[in-house]
Chain A
Amino acid sequence: MSHRPSLRIGLALLALVTVTACSTQVERLQATDVKDLSGGWNDTDSRLVSEEMIRDSLSRPWLQEWGAARGSKRPALIVGEVRNLSHEHINVNTFTLDVERALINSGKIDFVATKDERKGIREERKDQDINAREDTRNAMGRELGADFMMTGTINTIVDPNGDTQVLFYQVNMTLISLVDNRKVWVGQKEIKKLVTRSKLRF
């Protein structure tokens, strides 16, 4: 009978351990924190690349040249397709949105809604034509035409060797003038990672 209390404490401890092991753990992270889990493309890569692209594109001569030729008017951009040609399924939308947001917020560029967005807006305008009060109605045919289109690709080169692989991401973005198809800016950002898979698990 003497070992009963210790047994009880032991059981209680065991129960506690089991309970802790079962509860879901959540740790809040800053959006800028770097956490690499699988080694694949993640939010950090998307952010790093878009930041670099924006810094680069705004510091290049095409912007000044445009401003010099047209006074103070800001160039209007439209995002075309950013193609994922890598070996991973990458959500290209979050990446293009990152780029778009930062460019708009720089105040140096106007962004035009994309093809799909425009469709919705036109429908709304049509609806306004019939239903809205005359002094609040927005007329059709007054859209801002884009001066440049931004397109891009995400490519990867993978060099695997056993449990280690080198992942090389190359993101290219191009700004093409809609007037004459001239490429006014080409940006490139590379990311290289060495991913080592763990050899053992439980």
Chain B
Amino acid sequence: MPCAAACLAALAACATFSDTIQSTEHSLAQQRPRAALIEYEKLKPVPADRVLYLMNRGMLLRMSGDYDESTRTLEETKRLSEQLRALSLREQALSFTVNDASKSFVGEDFERVMVNNYLALNYLERGQLDAARVEALQVDLLLRERRQRSSADNPYAEDAFARYLTGIVYEDEGEWSDAMIAYRKAYEAYQKQLQSFAVAIPETLKHDLIRLADRMDLAEEAKGYREEFKIAETLSAADLRERGEIILTVHAGLAPDKRERATTVPNPATGRILRIALPQYRSRAQPFAYASVSADSNSTKTSLVENIDAIAVKTLESEMPAITARAIARMAAKDIFASAASSNSNDSGASALFGLAVNLAGVFTERADTRSWFTLPGEIHLARLPLSPGEYKLKVELHGRDERVLDSSEIKVTLRKGEKKYLSRHWIPTNLEVKP
């Protein structure tokens, strides 16, 4: 009996994080972020899942329009994941003997960068430009440090959107050279990652590069961009300063679903059960194609700036060899424990039973680490719309891949000369089924 109880307890403790998020997803699909937040806050995360809990909570708060609390939560996420960077021998040991999900969740690199990105967006939408600039500097540090320790063949060596957003912040601050450098880095990153993440250089970035190169008298560079992008005319920096600008980000869909893929087989030689469990991403359907923004006679379209879905999938792919190696080592270790347990007593009946219990415990605890920041959008799109100072009724239409209008909304905005207004729209489809 105690053995069975122990097995049950172990099983309950190992119920993966994604098992408990169904109802949150359900509310999100119904476009009710506030209800999703309430559902999600019912979760009582174990200390190891604290960072993940905060990430999701911060995102749900943002979706519900509570920017200040979202900012506080994401700042706490950042602080905590910084602390957890130190290696824990206890957790390493657990990850080699029990499972990977027993380690403290710190988030993948792209998830940590996303914390900074969303904080920057929170600050920008609240009109706190200098605070957004702090995030820009932090993301630069994070990416710089990442480059120091990661291998060159990692597809996610840079975060193109983070660089682009950073450039927008610097340009808004009037720090032209920093903005130019950030735009250039974004441009290079989009070029390099086109193959892996399928994000072309955003239309807006092309104009930004030309405008900034002109502003800084980089005639050769500006000429190069004009030829490459086939853009003859663009608004000059001086003209842009005379107008206001709407910068809209659309956060569409949800990040892919991380699931477990497990194989359980009996070993005919020993009669014991072997199990191996690995994580796997399943992309969700993405019906969203682009958004159109219009005010009076001015209108523009968004372009894709970040494909989180692809980044998540590729990141996991690049880590799969290490995860698989750990899983195999774990399987072998658990089998050795079970073998030792069954042969460690004079009473053959009792020892067989004990061996079975140890074997079952090992099998039950073999779970894949399926924790991921699931409230992240699948894709981020961005549009910039310069407008003369004045009051506007901004019309935002979300279009599907079949040109159908998915959603339409109107926002009242007042723009002053030289002012930039940052707006965002989260949209999640009703159908959250994963792709087969």
Contacts and interface: CB of A to CB of B under 8 A. Distances in A.
Given A85-B130, A89-B134, A158 B141 contact: yes
Nearest to B175: A85
Interface residues of B, number: 21
Contact of A160 (B88, B90, B137, B145): B145
Interface residues of A, number: 19
B87 to A, nearest CB: 6
Contacts of A31: none
B134 A201 contact: no
A197 B130 contact: no
A160 B131 contact: no
B417 interface: no
A200 interface: yes
B138 interface: yes
Interface in A46-94: 83-89
Interface in A163-184: none
Given A162-B148, A200-B86, A89 B133 contact: no
B144 A160 contact: yes
A197 B134 contact: no
A4 interface: no
Interface in B110-160: 130-131, 133-134, 137-138, 141, 144-145, 148-149
B87 A199 contact: yes
B260 interface: no
Interface string A176-202: 000000000000000000000111111
Given A85-B130, A89-B131, A161-B148, A201 B87 contact: yes
A158 B140 CA distance: 11
Task: Determine which residue in A38, A87, A160, A200 has the highest number of CB atoms from chain B within 10 A of its CB, and name it.
Answer: A87
B419 interface: no
B109 interface: no
A200 B87 CA distance: 5
A143 B148 CA distance: 57
Given A85-B133, A86-B134, A89-B131, 17 more contacts: A84-B130, A84-B131, A84-B134, A85-B130, A87-B137, A88-B134, A89-B75, A158-B141, A160-B145, A162-B149, A197-B85, A199-B86, A199-B87, A200-B86, A200-B87, A200-B88, A201-B86
* 7 nearest CB pairs, A to B: A87-B137, A201-B86, A198-B86, A201-B88, A89-B134, A160-B145, A87-B138
